[in-house]
Amino acid sequence: MCGILAVLGCSDDSRAKRARVLELSRRLKHRGPDWSGLYQHGDCFLAHQRLAIVDPASGDQPLYNEDETIVVTANGEIYNHEELRKRLPGHRFRTGSDCEVIAHLYEEYGEGFMDMLDGIFSFVLLDTRDGSFIAARDAIGITPLYIGWGLEGSVWISSEMKGLNDECKRFEVFPPGHMYTSKGGSHERWYKPPWYVEAIPSAPYDPLVLREAFEKAVIKRLMTDVPFGVLLSGGLDSSLVAAVICRHMAGTRAAEQWGTQLHSFCVGLEGSPDLKAAKDVADHLGTVHHEFHFTVQDGIDAIEDVIYHTETYDVTTIRASTPMFLMSRKIKAMGVKMVISGEGSDELFGGYLYFHKAPNKEEFHRETCRKIKALHQYDCLRANKATSAWGVEARVPFLDKGFIDVAMGIDPEWKMIKPDLGRIEKWVLRKAFDDEAKPYLPKHILYRQKEQFSDGVGYSWIDGLKAHAAEHVSDKMMQHAEHVYPYNTPATKEAYYYRMIFESFFPQNSARLTVPGGPSVACSTAKAVEWDARWSKNVDPSGRAAVGVHASAYDPTAPSLLDAKHRMTEVKASGLTVST
């Protein structure tokens, strides 16, 4: 991932202003340590910090059309750029960069080209012919983007909040799937899939169609000119990503450059569930596996850096971001600049354990829609910013536009969790890859039940965080929490501790408003409480609230499922209280 910063209509074209824009752009250098660029046209500045993944030699930004009247600074990957180039026969391209097509598509189609892009992106395009500009963000919000406004009427666009928070009177998250135009002066939604209005789909479930759509989504993400690998936790989602890559990598551009043996990466406390499961998967697939260990103290020592880079005080995001942050540093040290990860599957297929309580298919589907719409503030934010902190790019095939269309078009009756029929969470996905003739994964991996990432790296991780927070936040501080933090009042000492750190970096009211509001409830959603009121008593926002579901929802003698009795023993041994 790269870092972009644009200052548009700032009424100051002095050298001092240029120097200030450069200074602010350098706050994003961790996202793009390979090269820096800055373009100025009057009172407009487009800055770029590059992470070179495709065409490292000549793809530096900003990018231009033939006569340099159209200028683009972009962060992302356009997977269909070669196909789009063929649709622009009259245009001359300067680089092999996948993002250069944006300038030429605008020249050819105006603002109507957005849905032609297959990929992840945030960009600002300046048309110097009339001084107009557009800014846009990808469909789901996999790439981060913020927009702010200065007192003198300027508009600021930045990949991260830290690029604009000191200069803008007000700023906010740039909404996913939207475009902002200087001519209109407002956001306009360009991504309008049928599922977005939460209409209940009716397409029959076809496992082969789902499998082929996912394989296509994974394969297109092998577009790279630099070393890459896969983040492998040993859970269903990351294991499927790795299995598909191993099966299809031969003959790809990546294989021609880096060989056909995939490198996999996993992080955890010594003896954690994820380390054990990932090793099992890696041995089965034959990957070159890299296992990274960290201690609870290592994680605690990194918390301030994690909050600075992720720009959030959300409890579950910080818990999960910290191990990913530590692992990304190790990955970068090995010379790897791109990884493929498994985010998004739980939102598409209702993989969170509270979906067991969904009363009907309509409620099930609407909740998956709401979860997908919020991804940019949670898992997408974590995956992008925790890796980009060290100049590593994370690609997420489950959130491919085409795959989402297929997955969200399935009649949700097929996604419903029905233990009596042997359908555990994400059954439609598991069944699609349950190939007896040529197995993608062993049965015990294919049907492994979900772990929260922050639990899977080691059960003592969360407990260690809570204990550390309790040393820094007193009971008296909690008594006055609602007066100190009236918005998103911390409900626990851990939440209060993260909030203190966040506000030391980002004290502006606009900054605290970028984190979603509402009470901290079981499974991170009020819908869980609506479906089962018992979860309202749990103030911890992790999936631990559903431990009873996790441990006992299924027949422990079922041969195709994880042994629930073993899971219960494992939880008890960790020192946690188990509710049955």
Report the alpha-carbon distance of residue 440 to residue 445 in Å, rounded: 10
Classified as helix, coil or strand, 19 is helix
Indicate which residue of 2, 44, 168, 523 is catalytic: 2
Is residue 10 part of the annotated active site? The answer reads no
First CA to last CA distance, the chain:
44
Which tokens is 317 given?
Answer: 């995001």
The reply to whether 231 sits in an annotated binding site is: yes
The reply to whether 36 sits in an annotated binding site is: no
Which tokens is 32 given?
Answer: 């793009």
The reply to whether 549 sits in an annotated binding site is: no
Which tokens is 427 given?
Answer: 């059954």
* Residues in CB range of 157: below 8 A, 6 or more apart: 4, 5, 6, 8, 124, 135, 145, 146, 147, 148, 164, 174, 180
Report the alpha-carbon distance of residue 333 to residue 248 in Å, rounded: 27
Cβ 501 vs Cβ 304: under 8 Å: yes
Which tokens is 468 given?
Answer: 């550390």
List of E strands, 61-185: 63-64, 70-78, 119-127, 132-137, 146-149, 155-158, 170-173, 178-181
The reply to whether 98 sits in an annotated binding site is: yes
Enter the DSSP assignment of 203. Answer: B
Question: Residue 263: enclosing H or E segment and its boundaries?
Answer: strand 263-268
Cβ 287 vs Cβ 264: under 8 Å: yes
* Residues in CB range of 496: below 8 A, 6 or more apart: 469, 473, 477, 478, 481, 485, 490
Closest CA to 225 of 81, 72, 376, 51: 51
Classified as helix, coil or strand, 185 is coil
List of E strands, 161-204: 170-173, 178-181, 186-189
* Bind-site residues for ATP: 231, 267, 341-342
* Bind-site residues: 98, 231, 267, 341-342
Active site amino acids: 2
